[in-house]
Chain A
Amino acid sequence: MRYINKLRHYGIFIVFLAICINLSLISPQFLTISNWTIIITQVSINALLAFGVTFVIITGGIDLSLGSIVAVSGVTAAMLAHPNTYPLIVPILAALFAGLLIGAFNGFMITKSKIAPFIVTLGTMTIGRGLALILSDGRPVSNLSDSFVFIGSGKLLGLPILILILVIMFIICSVILNKTTLGRYIYALGGNEQAARASGIMVTRVKMMVYSISGVLAGLAGILLTSRITTGQPNAGAGFELDAIAAVVIGGTSTSGGKGSIGGTMIGVLLIGVINNSLDLLNVSSYYQQVVMGLIIIGAVVLDSLNQKSNY
């Protein structure tokens, strides 16, 4: 019986495996190393955003400004990454700082003004998009240095750098959430904010931290996207926040807070990536791709709520 319960706990992982097995039977290209390298590279940007918003959603919040942060940090990085200007570290730090700034602003407004995170981040989503357009004058910023472009298309130790960054961030985020005091506070806060406050947790500080983490990761995603497509685009990242939130939800994080994991989010991200990839391999029309994706999102939440009930 305990075994069955455990199986249920890994519901989405089993669904993911089943889909992969099926796909490898239908499409001979699916289960090749080169195809998986492509899938993981393609999901790396969404993964970073999804990791960040996992922290936020576990505290019971939401972050809709991710896509705009990607644009601001991408444009910022591109403007500082022209050949023979600044060393590589300058555009990278500036873009991460831009992400941190917007994330911290989100956290500040949410904790100080008591406005709902949905509203605050909706506001910064619009502000961020405007900033990206102002910075770039409405045009893509091109002509990037080779070293900057190398981040998005180069390899280290035989692996694409995008994948290496993804693995490192996965480990860091998992450790923060599972092994640190901050991680424990994040879960406590999402489980019951009043109780968390009563037990002496600095709620304000924890919230500031999660939105800042989310902002920095989105800043990093902006750098990777800009480097990958070799241009900083002010309209990049529109709608990215929804893909990220979808991945988090598919991965079993509860939107009411208190429950979730980076591992689950990673499965959610991979599931979305695998579906997109295989429907392209099979040349399925994009109209159907969207329907399939929507069904998976709803299915994942239904699975999750069944799980919840069975626990009582």
Chain B
Amino acid sequence: MSIIYDGSIDKIVYKTVFGETMEAIANADSNVVYLDADLMGSIGTTGFWKRNPKQAINVGIAEANMAGIAAGLSAAGKKPYLHTFGPFASRRIYDQVFLSIAYAGNNARIFGSDPGVAAAFNGGTHMPFEDLALYRAIPHSTVIEISDGAMLEALMWQVKDRSGLTYTRLTRKAYPTIYSKDHKFTIGKGEIIRKGTDATIIACGLMVGEALAAAEKLATDDINVQVIDMFTIKPLDVDLVLEAAKTGIIITAENHNVIGGLGDAVASTLLEAGVAPKFKRIGIEESFGQVGPQDFLQKHYGLTAENIEKTLRDIL
């Protein structure tokens, strides 16, 4: 077992992990080309760019062009990695990603940072609540949300030789540490990070830590809640969802619009399998983003352990 969560905040900042891992991947494979749209300073890759300008390319503030260049690089046998903030990596360049990369049969690994309320002080313009929905709708896409520093490093390596389009959303800050450094992740397989028989919380990203904290609180009242880190939103781990339904209650929790994200994916899986546990989606409801500290935003949108706990108690 390599779940090491104890509720404390990891001191490993993801942007450090991203920068170091990205450079290590490029050093290991000369076909890797990392592209960024003038946000290298934000994701820890400036040093890599200065040291290796052939494999780290700053396209300037031109995200659509970045997606198209990635398509051309892929068509010539390269393995492009792209980074920009989540809203630009999704809404702004959707047609370029959809056609030049996915429809054309090219491959790319797109990283959108500051998912949902993690954009905090950059405010509503920089706050993607719909990136998972947009990427889920692209045929044959892989859609991931990172919940832990060890996971980020492991999955950045794993997607290197993955075919097609992969979208990964990640914070630049730090979430609670959940996994040991040597934990083995399989894309498409969720992780049961807490066992329980009374209900299941299926969460991703930021909400995994919140779900664990809620489960701890409920445990003090002898309510034993299972927590699943569904870090691959697509392809969804259908078997695990159906197994979780046996607990009779499923709550999904995501730092994303409830429309089109993890909750919808789980709901349609259950319904199509003819399984109907008590069910509730926690996420952003019919709202745009806004500016503010992340803890304020989490409370405002109900993205907290307290809200998960209350929701579960209401169902029970």
Binding between chains A and B: no
